[in-house]
C-alpha cells in the first residue's frame, strides 16, 4: 500500500468504521509476487502456443518453451535481443529466430 492508494480508499469511503487495512509480511509479499510472475509466464507460453496453433505451426510438447525456460533465458539475457529494451515480468518477450517455425526452445531467444 502506498500513500496514494490509502488516500484514494479513505476519500472514497462513506463510512470508515468497517474499513480494515492489512499489511502482508515481506515473506508473503515475495510469495505473492513470485506467484504473479509465474502466472504471467504461463500466460505468455499459452499465448505463444495459441499463435503457433493459429498459424498452423506444429510442435512437440517436449521441445516447446515453458515458464522455466523463459526464466532461464531472461536471467542470461536481461534485455530484448532485438530492441535492447530491459525485460521485466510485465514485458517479457519470446522472439523466434526462424518465423516459419513454432516457439521451440531451440528456435527462440
> How far out from the chain centre does Cα 82 lie?
19
Q: 108 by DSSP, 3-state: which?
A: strand
Q: Mean per-residue pLDDT for 39-57?
A: 95
pLDDT at 67 over 80: yes
pLDDT digits (tens, 9 = 90+) for 75-85: 788 888 788 88
Question: Residue 51 CB: number of other CB atoms within 10 A?
Answer: 14
Mean pLDDT over all residues of the chain?
89
pTM of the model: 0.73
- Report pLDDT for 82: 80
Residues 89-102: pLDDT tens digits?
778 888 899 999 99
Q: Tell which residue, 17, 45, 24, has the closest CA to residue 102.
A: 45
Give the count of beta carbons closer than 10 Å to the beta carbon of residue 108.
Answer: 20
pLDDT band per the 50, 70, 90 thresholds, residue 14: confident
Tell me what the mean pLDDT of segment 21-31 comes to: 89
Amino acid at each position: 500500500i502506498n500513500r496514494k492508494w490509502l488516500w484514494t480508499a479513505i476519500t472514497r469511503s462513506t463510512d470508515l468504521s468497517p474499513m480494515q487495512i492489512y499489511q502482508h509480511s515481506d515473506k508473503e509479499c515475495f510469495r505473492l509476487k513470485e506467484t504473479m510472475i509465474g502466472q504471467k509466464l504461463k500466460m505468455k507460453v499459452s499465448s505463444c502456443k495459441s499463435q503457433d496453433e493459429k498459424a498452423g505451426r506444429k510442435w512437440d510438447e517436449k521441445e516447446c518453451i515453458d515458464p522455466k525456460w523463459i526464466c532461464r533465458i531472461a536471467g542470461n539475457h536481461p534485455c530484448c535481443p532485438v530492441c535492447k529494451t530491459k525485460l521485466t515480468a510485465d514485458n517479457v518477450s519470446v522472439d523466434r529466430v526462424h518465423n516459419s517455425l513454432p516457439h521451440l526452445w531451440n528456435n527462440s531467444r
